Amino acid sequence: MADTPARKPPQESEQEPPVRPSGTGEKLPAPRRRPPSERSRPSPPPSAASGTGVTTGALARRLGVSPTTLRSWDRRYGVGPAVRDGGRHRRWAPQDVAVLEEMCRLTSVGVPPAEAARAARERARTPAADTPPAPRAGRPAPAPAGHPVLAPLPHRAGDEPLDARREIRGLSRAAVRLDAAVVQDRLLSLVARYGVSTAWEEVMVPTLHAVGRRWETSGDRYVEVEHLLSWHVSTVLRRATPAVPPGAPATDAAPLVLACVPGEQHTLPLEALNAALAERGTATRMFGADVPAEALTSAVRRLGPAAVVLWSQARSTASHPLAQYVAASEWGVRGARRNPVVVLGGPGWAGQRAGQMLRPAGLGEALRALTAVCGGEDPSRT
């Protein structure tokens, strides 16, 4: 609950207002009329000590924390407003906001709150506060505030052990603050250091699930957090998929077709698979969300893929007849006709018989099966 301003006591020079009969025997105070000179007098301009700056509630919304958390940080770590308005509503000046933003940035990368608060205060007192700190070994340099890292990052998977809990915590906090620059920077760093598969399974998916659970238990709050996080995950996954340069020679290798079944809008897992395959140099054709059945079968006949991945998030979109029809598709000359291997991805296929089709349990298993298909091996033995 926000601090409430103290009620101003009456001055000794003020007289008790006159009363008038109410008709019921009860005396009611007569309305006090302000003199014209007082009514036309403009309000004095606010001063730094009388209410300019950001309120606690507004700052809490900006940082993605509760007002109670801000007051707790003030008491524990001394990161409260520098100027206090006589014990009434807290007002946070720009320099106060900068300290808290820096503290949140540090906690998002796993720095303990007490240490983050101390570092944020020191940085605010340092003349060279705008100079970014030197990056740790194996990590990219942090981007300036408001500017995400956009330069290509070298792949250095395995440079340092992955602390998944710290990464999930930091990414979640940045997403709750709607700090797009930090969210994208952390995602790019994860993919660069550990590769798409590890970043997706160990950090991205758990963070998306955590944000989703928070939304489900908060009465439709944090929807914007889930959308922002999903958008940046998609952006980073697509960026990890190198574009085919113009004029590149065609290869004889049959590509893999990736598509969401008709009516299915969830593409993130398929984007992760596409990026992980591209990371391994496997040719793919990504068709995205809600691919019509006619367009899907036409693409299969035209491309002659080694495998077709059909993604279904919900049972309502999983069409076993469509999957069987795709699996029965044929191409090639008579006597040497071929069929694609069909991979059923997503929880929508649960409870249905796969038959000769594959149903991997996760991204890693799907990568192993598809790699075997491309290599002419039996994917059921991977």
266 in Cβ contact with 205 (< 8 Å)? no
d(CA 70, CA 81): 10
The domain limits of the chain are: 54-126+159-239, 256-381
State pTM to two decimals.
0.68
pLDDT at position 8, please?
46
pLDDT at position 257, please?
97
Which tens digits make up the pLDDT trace of 66-99? 888 888 988 999 888 877 665 556 788 899 999 9
Which tens digits make up the pLDDT trace of 121-163? 888 887 554 444 433 433 443 444 443 333 333 444 445 688 8
d(CA 292, CA 259): 10
pLDDT at position 63, please?
82
**DSSP-based three-state secondary structure for 142:** coil
The CA distances from residue 245 to 248, 250, 256, 272, 284, in Å, are 6, 11, 19, 21, 14
d(CA 41, CA 88): 26
Domain 256-381 has CATH 3.40.50.2300: no
**Strands 307-311 vs 256-260: parallel, antiparallel or unpaired:** parallel
Closest alpha carbon to 301 in 324, 330, 323: 330
Which amino acid, residue 312?
S
233 in Cβ contact with 208 (< 8 Å)? yes
pLDDT at position 183, please?
94
pLDDT at position 2, please?
45
DSSP state of 42: P
d(CA 97, CA 85): 16
What is the mean pLDDT of each successive set of 10 residues along the chain, which is 382 residues long?
46 43 42 46 41 80 83 89 68 89 82 89 71 42 38 46 88 89 93 95 95 71 88 96 64 87 96 96 95 95 95 95 93 80 95 86 94 82 62
